[in-house]
Structure 1
Amino acid sequence: MSDQTEVFNLEKIYNHHDVEERWGSAHWEELGSFHAESSRVLETGKEPYTVLMPPPNVTGSLTLGHVLNHTLQDIFIRYSRMTGKEALWLPGTDHAGIATQTVVERKLKKEGITRHDLGRKEFLGHVWQWREEYGDLILRQLRRLGISCDWRRNLFTMDEGASKAVINAFITLYRDGLIYRGTRIINWCPVSQTALSDEEVIMKSRKDSLVYIQYALVSHPGRFITIATVRAETILADVAIAVNPADPRYTDLVGELAIVPVAGRYIPIIADDYVDIEFGTGALKITPAHDANDYEVAKRHNLPILSVVGKDGKMTDEFGYGGMDRFVAREKILKDLEELGNLVRVEEYEHNVGYSERADVVVEPYLSEQWFVKMKPLAEEALQVVNDGEIRFHPPHWINTYRHWMGNIRDWCISRQLWWGHRIPAWYDSEGKVWVAASYEEACHLAGTDKLVQDDDVLDTWFSSWLWPLTTLGWTEKQSDNDDLRAFYPTDTLVTGPDIIFFWVARMVMAGLYFKGAVPFRNVYFTSIIRDMKGRKLSKSLGNSPDPIKVMDTYGTDALRFTIIYIAPLGQDVLFGEEKCELGRNFATKIWNASRLVFMQREKYFRDHEEFAAVYLNFDPSSVTADLAGQWLLAGYHGMLERYHTAFTQFRVNDIVKNLYDFFWRDYCDWYLEALKVRLSGELTREDAQQTVCLAVYVLEGTLKALHPVMPFITDEIWHQVLQRSAEESIALSPMPLSDSALAGIDLRGFSLIQKVVTEIRSLRSLFGVPHGSRAEVLLRPTNEGDRLLLQTNLALVAALAQCNPQLMDGGERPPHAAGSVVEGNELFVLLEGLISFDKECERLQKEIANVSSYVLSLQKKLSNGGFADHAPADVIAKEREKLREAGETLEKLKSNLAVLSD
């Protein structure tokens, strides 16, 4: 590394593999670049800035969603660190209860072993062994992405401290009356044999049969009431038929009894507002053990509850279907209903159905005894702090989703029928009485007996995740305060996906307020959804999700980071194709080549690093007065910085990246570096040349610092070449440049005029097909003495940038065969004689005029056609008129160009 810093310039070709290996996470970690200390906040008053890593599943591997999410976090944290804050990024992973248990059980199954063969203790030993061997893959991949966490603080949700926090939180909520055990309808996975959170249920479109079944009325022989259902197998558990009280079709039937087909059971017809008059027949079978909404209806009407589907997804009825798979039973009962004469008709019906995320089977709504958290008491204050602006959402429209969830909140089922996870700290005595305690010994003390059996269930993974802002800073409830909590809580920015506003964001707000009395974070940045180029969400099943590691190997990590932020405006979906990373790779190459060019100029005017450092470290950019392009660059640079810092305060990260890209590529490279060559080729003193080079390096270094949060590797590499810096230094710890309003306000009109003249000459050359290698003669007729002096002084610059031989003219006639234009009142003429074939160009223009004229005529006829004009939609007509306008302008330009050549 030390040899590398002796080089006065960069390697000729940019090699992202070498650069990323040299300045990767291992190097930064070794330096301690990303360590944050509470003492620097508490003792010196340094402003803290804290980011929470949404803990990826321990079973996970890097996806493009991770790349976007973690790059955004890294940008916020690196920027804050460079602007002088004590920036702490807290990393960690989630034990992912059902996902991890599924992976290990699958592994054991290949060996012919089940977890029940091993027993709980030995099985958990296998899980921990798997976690040690494979569980940190995603963290290694995140390091490859270059993220700047304080890795010393890496937390696993099953670590001792986090586990204590979970248990203490459960006990506190239970003793406060906010946790209870009860029987409710929950999501049940028949394969994994556990309750599922809504987040673990994936909605998929599925085609089923919507069947219409008639139920005979007890008191009206020969009369029926017909219902529509997709779950014919559950009619065996029907306890009522519900109709809407406002539905006149059934008013006279409310209170009557109907006969359940096959089962032969009498059930009442009831009235309830829940029933949708428009769906099916407007009559709804009520099966409370197999539908959450039916369960609520049953409670309102004091109806019994019957169940006919077991935990394994097989029928448990006494009508001949017992032991059948639920879907097999569905087909069988349809045949039986048809034979009995109860099947009216069958329609194909496409609807969304919940599937278990891990087992990929249809989830069964299941009536089960589980542990729940009362959510309404927790939700009220959590909603208030968002409404009051204590927590801000970016973009703000997600507040409406948050309000909807919080206003319609239900109690949270927190128990899972798994072995991997935080075991519920509840013990039962011989009478079934529950004793909640932190340990078996404490439970025995409370119960007055040692004949206790612990609950088999574990807690929902989200029960540990909702404590994440607290546990990452050392909170355990009993250890409710420490230096880290005092320094870094509340945290500042949470970056997460909008799909877990309720499952995670809202619950963290509740936990922070309940256990710590303060919001857990001040800002929530919701990421975009990444889709493929066809607009489909990325998924392994579709095969449209690129492997980020391969993308980084091909294009470079900086290129991937830059690209994914460049194409991700706040609040909009991202269409990603791997080939889009060409944008980031080309930009990285542009940065490299531009830096090499500047360093080459440095080699010409400075003997070595020492001489350059002596001049550069004393360089005053405000002293640049004689260099028109330099003044223009300074104004643009500080204007860019002003927009850059403003965008950070507004969480417009996409604007930050585009601002940097436009400034560096267009202003610095396309204009200033070309102007730099012209200036240095003129008659300058050695001191003036050195000052000019220092200006180029000054703006380059400042831009590298502004780019560093987005592209950390290449910027650290080049920054080390600006001065002779050691490997123990890092751009990550250097101060972020600030905008100077005085420099940003420099009058830009002078260089702006030169730019416009050059751009117009280039445009005319292109318009008339002047070959690229030909130097055109250009005449400039200034409109006033001020512009004459400006143009005269900068003729060499115009000549170099526009590839022409410019001269000033005083008056006289317009030169023949010249393409002319006017820029801010100043006339310019590009002499075409000898540069192009007039005959060929005239022939080409005449053909093009004929084609465009024909097109204009067809549009005019179409718009004048009464049939089209009277019946076509307004937007279609507007588009056709716009086409006519554009075609008319093109035709006028072509005729004008032909006139020039025919003069």
Structure 2
Amino acid sequence: MTSATPDNTRNRADALPKNWNPGAVEAPMYERWVAAGYFTADPSSAKPPYSIVLPPPNVTGNLHIGHALDHTLMDTLTRRKRMQGYEVLWLPGMDHAGISTQTVVEKQLAVDGKTKEDFGRELFVQKVWDWKRESGGAIQWQMRALGDGVDWSRDRFTLDAGLSRAVQTIFKRMFDAGLIYRAERLVNWSPVLRTAISDIEVKYSDVEGELISLRYGSLDDAEPHVIVATTRVETMLGDTAVAVHPQDPRYQALIGATLYHPITGKQIPIVADDYVDPEFGSGAVKITPAHDPNDFEIGLRHGLPMPTIMDERGRIADTGTEFDGMDRFEARVAIRERLAAEGRVVAEKRPYLHSVGHSERTGEPIEPRLSMQWWVKVESLAEAAGDAVRNGDTVIHPASSEPRWFDWVDNMHDWCISRQLWWGHRIPIWYGPEGEVICVGPDEQAPEGYVQDPDVLDTWFSSGLWPFSTMGWPDATPELEKFYPTSVLVTGYDILFFWVARMMMFGTFVSRDIALNVGKDGDYQMPFRDVFLHGLIRDQFGKKMSKSRGNGIDPLEWIEQYGADVLRFALARGAQPGSDLSVGEPHALAARSFITKVFNAGKLALMNGARPGDLPARAALTDADRWILDKLEEVRAEVDSALDGYEFGKACEALYHFFWDEFCDWYLELAKVQFAEDDARAEATRVVLGTVLDASLRMLHPVIPFVTESLWQALTGGESIVVAPWPTATGIEPDTGAARRISDAQRLITEIRRFRSDQGLAEKQKVAAALVGLDAAELGGHEESVRSLARLTAPADGFAATATLEVPLGVGTVTVELDTSGTVDLDAERRRLEKDLAAAQKELVGTEAKLGNEAFLAKAPEQVVDKIKSRRAAATAEADRITARLTELSGK
């Protein structure tokens, strides 16, 4: 960093634009950072490592507001650690997003009336790669617009050759260890996509359906029969039993008997199972094991047949009934009508509100369907992932999320990893002509005549390897040795169970291998030491953002309108561990005001010759100088503590109030007074001002990198704030005496300003005043500052006070005697006060009406009532103050 002189800092201030214009500055500034290599990690560095892998966005995606929050927080962490002297790797990349990407390309083909089958697998996959090269990855330039300090030289894609090798390697190792197997199980099936989909791709919502009560067995009341209720009549074609509770006295005689099935004509058994709730409906439920997860478990317990009655498109198939070939919803109506005609519908309830799972990709209701799939046996892996948190190897922030983590991993079901798609990692299983099954590793070849399994792996399988596959595993690489395990994972709490759990499971499986390969004595290495879970972004009113509500935020529009710094500060200021945050236009405007304040204050300080340098001895500094330096140390400690605990909002609030309230509102104003004193004092003030501004900009930089870079380079002439050192503790004891005196001076100035306002004086109007007791209050050395900031002149000959104000302070009381004669338009002041009094009285009437309403008080939450009481007290005090002032004016 080069030293600055008052003259050259003023020259650099002149070189800055009149107003902050992010659109002209941010993009070229970011590209300079990238070109300079500031974000490129060096695994051979002797610096301590700090690493984060970017949760890979979908190649089909755009930067949405959730991404913007994730990226802002990660960038804040990595920029700060880089300034603290760490070798930082923030590794970017994208996910191939099997379902999303294949769907995009299939839709493009459909415009020309084509399907993927018209091209065949190999040519279709090539078309997807073509699309990826031409149109995929738009999110990368959007990340640049946000200011992401990622190492672009290590950009990864989940279908890259290296990552594909990692996928094949771990699949074979897990297959050989008996942790991957093939079985017919119930899955979430998408008839539109014609594939199994993961739990995270199923969104549940309440829909208005129908609840139909049906009669199974004889239509003769004297013969065996039961009533069952269902919302999915069409699934009865796959019924293989009716279940009742074993202790239900109504059905004791029927347990073990069989009933006539109204459609198939088959006899199905009545089984007893504890799952059945005897208090719900008739206490009897139809069991369709191949199309309901609970029924599937009952079917396993009782050895029931499990016929699949729908094909991959959701059409009724292979039932031998007239409904074969019908769409599932068409069949629902037709079956209900037939049963009604036969007198078997005993009750109908419409509309009936119930929860239904829908495909996130297509919006269709998913179909639970029995299907032959590949699975990961998760019991031992999930146990290790749970133990990693229990043992403190991985720490979850906030700790309040730990019970949810344990509840999930301790009760995890085996994971379906196969998808009936063409785009993705092909399952490395090959079948021989005699039914042989072999798993082929990345450096192996299947025997001639063998055929590869047609399915691909769930996208979450490859993204679950992300923390170590991106660093070169299964090879022993410098990146793995230096940067693995990663320092922290930053993500929303909503995918704690899906992505985070999978990374933890895979990380436990390969941990010994990685540790041994990079010479870490075989110690277990979890994929990350910390997991920071932030909340979801809601609108300014706390409502969930959604397309239907139209309350979403496009971060790119905010960047274009306000600049990246504004978006970043608005998001980071609301981010706390595990808590949702509300963001809307008011938050953007508040952030913009702050960014403008930073720029204007920085430019003003430069124009006054502010420059960082060696501080004079403490004894040579004024109270104001010592006070602001001590306040700077306070906020540094608070920011460090907050960021170490991932309390981004707390850190932003501390910096906001320090910079705006203390640095701008007070110290800059006090400094102007000190600039008018002798040269030595003025020079000391410039150094203090420059020192505080320098440290403030460095602490603000991780959150608002662009405006701070512009100001810091102008202030210091240094290379870049990106590689400037983070402020550290000074070790200097705070000056409590200076703090008290400045606090008293602030109180005195504030009270004089308020009194002036009450007296109707114009803000800039100077008034003669005597300050009695200033020396006794130990503020004699601050008289010039008090007079300057309170706009008071010294009393002249013939001074006569017309108004008096007493201000009690930490030491003594100062009496302010003012001569306001001829300074107030009495008629105008009366009109203003009468208008203010009317507003206060209106507020008082409104609050008293609410507090006098017994019905309201009985229902309103306590905090709401307390708030109204506070409003009433404030209105009462305001009305009393104005009334007193009007009485005073009436005597003039």
Question: Could you state the TM-score of these two structures normalised by the residue count of structure 1?
Answer: 0.90
Residue 461 (structure 2) pairs with residue 463 (structure 1) = yes
Residues 358-413 of structure 1: per-residue CA shift (max 9 Å, x gap): 22211111100000000111111110111222211122222121111112100000
**One of 739, 742, 749 as aligned partner of 1:758:** 749
Residue 244 (structure 2) pairs with residue 243 (structure 1) = yes
Aligned pair in 2 of structure 1 residues 177, 864: CA closer, same or farther (>3 Å)? closer
Matched residues, number: 865
Aligned pair in 2 of structure 1 residues 878, 670: CA closer, same or farther (>3 Å)? closer
* One-letter amino acid matched to 1:826: T
- State how far apart, in whole Å, the 2-side matches of 1:841 and 1:574 are: 44
* Residue 125 (structure 1) aligns with: 126
* Residue 353 (structure 1) aligns with: 356
* Residue 586 (structure 1) aligns with: 593
Q: Is the 8 A contact 1:58 1:95 kept in 2?
A: yes
**One of 306, 322, 339 as aligned partner of 1:320:** 322
Q: Is the 8 A contact 2:10 2:607 kept in 1?
A: no
Residue 738 (structure 2) pairs with residue 736 (structure 1) = no
- State how far apart, in whole Å, the 1-side matches of 2:880 and 2:89 are: 62
- State how far apart, in whole Å, the 1-side matches of 2:765 and 2:815 are: 18
- State how far apart, in whole Å, the 2-side matches of 1:560 and 1:196 are: 34
**One of 406, 416, 419 as aligned partner of 1:416:** 419
Partner secondary structure for residue 456 of structure 1: coil
Q: Is the 8 A contact 1:818 1:832 kept in 2?
A: no
Residues 323-380 of structure 1: per-residue CA shift (max 9 Å, x gap): 1111111111111121111112222222222112222211111100000000111111
| Structure-to-structure mapping, 1:260-409, within 5 angstroms | 260-316=261-317, 317-347=319-349, 348-409=351-412
Which deviates further from its counterpart, 620-629 or 501-510?
Answer: 620-629
Which deviates further from its counterpart, 840-849 or 712-721?
Answer: 840-849
Residue 568 (structure 2) pairs with residue 561 (structure 1) = yes
* Residue 447 (structure 1) aligns with: none
How far does residue 549 in structure 1 lie from its aligned partner after superposition? 1.8
Q: Is the 8 A contact 2:10 2:606 kept in 1?
A: no
Partner secondary structure for residue 303 of structure 1: coil
Aligned pair in 2 of structure 1 residues 401, 335: CA closer, same or farther (>3 Å)? same
Which deviates further from its counterpart, 875-884 or 116-125?
Answer: 875-884
* Residue 156 (structure 1) aligns with: 157
Q: Is the 8 A contact 2:690 2:715 kept in 1?
A: yes
Aligned pair in 2 of structure 1 residues 210, 769: CA closer, same or farther (>3 Å)? farther
Partner secondary structure for residue 125 of structure 1: helix
Aligned pair in 2 of structure 1 residues 232, 489: CA closer, same or farther (>3 Å)? same
* Residue 42 (structure 2) aligns with: 37
| Structure-to-structure mapping, 1:590-739, within 5 angstroms | 590-602=597-609, 616-617=612-613, 619-620=614-615, 622-623=617-618, 625-682=620-677, 684-685=678-679, 687-725=680-718, 729-739=719-729
Aligned pair in 2 of structure 1 residues 878, 657: CA closer, same or farther (>3 Å)? closer
How far does residue 832 in structure 1 lie from its aligned partner after superposition? 4.6
How far does residue 692 in structure 1 lie from its aligned partner after superposition? 1.6
Residues 540-593 of structure 1: per-residue CA shift (max 9 Å, x gap): 454433322221111011111111111333322222224532222222221111
* Residue 99 (structure 2) aligns with: 98
- State how far apart, in whole Å, the 2-side matches of 1:576 and 1:54 are: 22
Q: Is the 8 A contact 2:709 2:721 kept in 1?
A: yes
Residues 280-299 of structure 1: per-residue CA shift (max 9 Å, x gap): 33322110010111100110
Partner secondary structure for residue 602 of structure 1: coil
Q: Is the 8 A contact 1:778 1:828 kept in 2?
A: no
- State how far apart, in whole Å, the 1-side matches of 2:32 and 2:849 are: 70
Q: Is the 8 A contact 2:430 2:452 kept in 1?
A: yes
**One of 581, 596, 613 as aligned partner of 1:574:** 581
How far does residue 124 in structure 1 lie from its aligned partner after superposition? 1.1
- State how far apart, in whole Å, the 1-side matches of 2:278 and 2:715 are: 74
- State how far apart, in whole Å, the 2-side matches of 1:140 and 1:872 are: 49
* Residue 607 (structure 1) aligns with: none
* Residue 232 (structure 2) aligns with: 231
Q: Is the 8 A contact 1:218 1:256 kept in 2?
A: no
Residues 635-687 of structure 1: per-residue CA shift (max 9 Å, x gap): 111111111111121111111111111111111111111111111123x12x4
Partner secondary structure for residue 316 of structure 2: coil
Which deviates further from its counterpart, 80-89 or 431-440?
Answer: 431-440
* Residue 33 (structure 2) aligns with: 28
* Residue 57 (structure 1) aligns with: 58
* Residue 550 (structure 1) aligns with: 557
How far does residue 719 in structure 1 lie from its aligned partner after superposition? 1.6
Residues 697-729 of structure 1: per-residue CA shift (max 9 Å, x gap): 11111111111111111111122112334xxx2
- State how far apart, in whole Å, the 1-side matches of 2:23 and 2:854 are: 65
Residue 836 (structure 2) pairs with residue 834 (structure 1) = no
Q: Is the 8 A contact 1:512 1:520 kept in 2?
A: yes
Q: Percent identity?
A: 40
- State how far apart, in whole Å, the 1-side matches of 2:657 and 2:233 are: 62
* One-letter amino acid matched to 2:25: V
* One-letter amino acid matched to 1:406: V
Residues 460-480 of structure 1: per-residue CA shift (max 9 Å, x gap): 11111111111111102xx2x
How far does residue 595 in structure 1 lie from its aligned partner after superposition? 1.6
Q: Is the 8 A contact 2:12 2:606 kept in 1?
A: no
* Residue 609 (structure 1) aligns with: none
How far does residue 802 in structure 1 lie from its aligned partner after superposition? 1.9
How far does residue 165 in structure 1 lie from its aligned partner after superposition? 0.5
Aligned pair in 2 of structure 1 residues 889, 326: CA closer, same or farther (>3 Å)? same
Q: Is the 8 A contact 1:185 1:367 kept in 2?
A: yes
* One-letter amino acid matched to 1:756: R
- State how far apart, in whole Å, the 2-side matches of 1:276 and 1:880 are: 48
Partner secondary structure for residue 732 of structure 2: helix
Partner secondary structure for residue 289 of structure 2: coil
Q: Is the 8 A contact 2:181 2:376 kept in 1?
A: yes
How far does residue 119 in structure 1 lie from its aligned partner after superposition? 1.1
Q: Is the 8 A contact 2:224 2:254 kept in 1?
A: no
How far does residue 800 in structure 1 lie from its aligned partner after superposition? 2.1
- State how far apart, in whole Å, the 2-side matches of 1:312 and 1:20 are: 50
Unaligned 5+ segments in structure 1 are: 445-449, 604-611
Which deviates further from its counterpart, 93-102 or 862-871?
Answer: 862-871
- State how far apart, in whole Å, the 1-side matches of 2:254 and 2:760 are: 85
* Residue 795 (structure 1) aligns with: 783
- State how far apart, in whole Å, the 2-side matches of 1:79 and 1:753 are: 36
How far does residue 901 in structure 1 lie from its aligned partner after superposition? 4.1
Aligned pair in 2 of structure 1 residues 853, 370: CA closer, same or farther (>3 Å)? closer
- State how far apart, in whole Å, the 2-side matches of 1:808 and 1:797 are: 19
Aligned pair in 2 of structure 1 residues 851, 242: CA closer, same or farther (>3 Å)? same
Aligned pair in 2 of structure 1 residues 236, 864: CA closer, same or farther (>3 Å)? closer
How far does residue 786 in structure 1 lie from its aligned partner after superposition? 4.1
* Residue 470 (structure 2) aligns with: 472
Aligned pair in 2 of structure 1 residues 419, 385: CA closer, same or farther (>3 Å)? same
* Residue 191 (structure 2) aligns with: 190
Residue 500 (structure 2) pairs with residue 505 (structure 1) = yes
- State how far apart, in whole Å, the 2-side matches of 1:305 and 1:623 are: 84
Aligned pair in 2 of structure 1 residues 288, 621: CA closer, same or farther (>3 Å)? farther
- State how far apart, in whole Å, the 2-side matches of 1:640 and 1:440 are: 56
Aligned pair in 2 of structure 1 residues 749, 337: CA closer, same or farther (>3 Å)? same
- State how far apart, in whole Å, the 2-side matches of 1:395 and 1:821 are: 46
Partner secondary structure for residue 410 of structure 1: coil
